[in-house]
Amino acid sequence: MSKYDIVVIGGGLVGCATAYYLARSKANVLIIEKGELNRQASGQNAGSLHFQLEHRLVKFWDTLKGTISEMIPISIMAQDLWSTLEQELQADMEVVQHGGLMLAETEEDVDKLKRKHRLEKELGLDSQLLTGEDARSIAPYLGANVLAAAYCPAEGHANPRVVTLEYAKKARESGVEIRSNTLVMSLNRTGGEWKIRLQTGEMVRADNIVIATGAWAAETAQLAGLHLPMYPVPLMMNVTEPVEQVVGHLIQHVGKKLTFKQVRDGNILIGGGWPSRFTTKHGLIDLSKAPIIDPSIARTNLKVACSVVPSIQRLRLLRTWPGVAGVSGDQLPVLGEFPERPGMYVAGGGSAFTLGPAYARLITELILTNRTSLPIASFSPSRFSHLNLFMQ
């Protein structure tokens, strides 16, 4: 039976980045991926690097205000990691950090923007509040209806089709073993170590395991007899034909679901959290199948984009695609060790493309040194321990 210091379950960005950082510290690591690397959310996403608090968090400000501030240091850490990632992995991953604008179109949105900006500024995130006119002076493509914008110079985007694979490549070079097309079937801790049964019937042993299975994290926790409220959410993206440079920033909206950016090849990617539709089996969500695009939802998403950048109305839509992300019960990241299962860690949730490198660094620190360079107690799976009171 092979034995590892750490087995990482899941070959998306979080799993591959975690394995890379662990191996850089000489740990003996195995990644187990049930399909192929980077085929789920990490390879399907919009590639936005958004460090400002997102619309989905601002919308639930009153519920989240106790913990929302703890997201900001993680965003700053992620911002710094992305700024040197191509150099570190020696790879072109189309990382650009040439600034992002979060827009407001109503007085109510402007108030939300001000409140958000105040908190971010207090906690050291570099951003500026701009009037609509100031925003148009740096982004002339914005429509007249934009009343204000929060500008974060470090925001931008990267190519999701390559980032995870570059992490995996460097992880391999650092000694990480990767088993693709291998489903984890059970997780048991006996004699102070984890025994991981694979679909092949094989058993591997590990001192620690990391659940990095994104939208499947609840299923994976169940393999160890625990509940974890991580919910799969079906999303969609749109991409236009390639055109000359139109949009020079990452665009987000404080009051609406919207992100868009123009990538290196000239295509404009438009999304922002608009839903696709799960297929079902016997009335239940069937996660083994890709969700279905609803054309009317795609149209609404595009209308919202055209309302703030009217010049893109002339562009043709090239294609749309769905993807599944994992969102925790309180929308915050889930990062830490399960108090009920020593040596079992989880990392994921939310915008884990932007924040994935930071999650990976923090969980690596926790596993290797039992401490982290930023406070992550608010994100510990222990906040869901009430759900596990009745589990063995």
Ligand X SMILES: Cc1cc2nc3c(=O)[nH]c(=O)nc-3n(C[C@H](O)[C@H](O)[C@H](O)COP(=O)(O)OP(=O)(O)OC[C@H]3O[C@@H](n4cnc5c(N)ncnc54)[C@H](O)[C@@H]3O)c2cc1C
- Angstrom distance (rounded) from CA 227 to CA 59: 27
Pairing relation of β-strands 203-211 and 344-348? parallel
Give the residues across from 260 on adjacent strands.
251, 270
Using CA atoms, how far apart are residues 81 and 90, in angstroms rounded to an integer? 14
Instruction: Count interface residues toward ligand X (CB under 6 A).
Output: 40
Q: Please state the closest distance from residue 137 (CB atom) to ligand X, in A.
A: 26
Q: Which is nearer to ligand X, 12 or 255 (CB)?
A: 12
Give the H or E element holding residue 259.
strand 259-262
Work out which of 4, 7, 8, 12 binds ligand X, going by CB under 6 A.
12
Identify the residue among 21, 27, 47, 103 touching ligand X (CB under 6 A): 47
Residue span 348-367 as binding mask against ligand X, x where in contact by CB under 6 A, dash where not: x--xxxx-x-----------
CA distance 70 to 74: 7
Q: Does 110 bind ligand X (CB under 6 A)?
A: no
Q: How far is the CB of 86 from ligand X (least distance, A)?
A: 17
Q: Which is nearer to ligand X, 110 or 235 (CB)?
A: 235
* Antiparallel, parallel or unpaired: β 29-32 and 3-9: parallel
Report the length, in residues, of the chain. 392
Task: State the DSSP string of 74-90.
Answer: HHHHHHHHHHHHHHHHT
The three-point CA angle 218-224-229 to 5° equals 20
Residue type at position 206: A
CB of 110 or CB of 211, closer to ligand X: 211
Alpha helix (H) ranges present in the chain?
13-24, 41-44, 55-58, 61-64, 71-89, 107-122, 132-138, 160-173, 217-223, 295-308, 356-369
Residue 13 or 315: the one with the smaller Cβ distance to ligand X is: 13
Instruction: Confirm or reject binding of residue 291 to ligand X (CB under 6 A).
Output: no
Does residue 10 belong to the site contacting ligand X (CB under 6 A)?
yes
Q: Which of 101, 212, 254, 315 binds ligand X (CB under 6 A)?
A: 212
Q: Does 220 contact ligand X by CB under 6 A?
A: yes
Residue 132 or 326 with smaller CB distance to ligand X: 326
Alpha-carbon distance of 34 to 236, in angstroms, equals 23
- Minimum distance, C-beta of residue 349 to ligand X, in the bound complex (Å): 7
Residue 9 is a binding residue for ligand X (CB under 6 A): yes
Determine the Cα–Cα distance for residues 366 and 377; give it in Å rounded to an integer: 11
Q: Taking CB under 6 A as the criterion, which residues in 169-208 touch ligand X?
A: 183-184
Q: Which of 100, 132, 156, 214 binds ligand X (CB under 6 A)?
A: 214
* Binding-site member from 102, 135, 324, 366 for ligand X (CB under 6 A): 324
Q: Does 33 bind ligand X (CB under 6 A)?
A: yes
Nearest-approach distance from CB 131 to ligand X, in angstroms: 27
Q: Which of 8, 42, 85, 363 binds ligand X (CB under 6 A)?
A: 42
DSSP 96: B
Between CA 294 and CA 336 the distance in angstroms is 36
Q: Which stretch binds ligand X (CB under 6 A): 224-232, 241-249, 289-297, 346-354?
A: 346-354
Which positions lie near ligand X, rule CB under 6 A?
9-15, 32-35, 39-42, 44-48, 183-184, 212-216, 220, 235, 237, 271, 323-325, 348, 351-354, 356
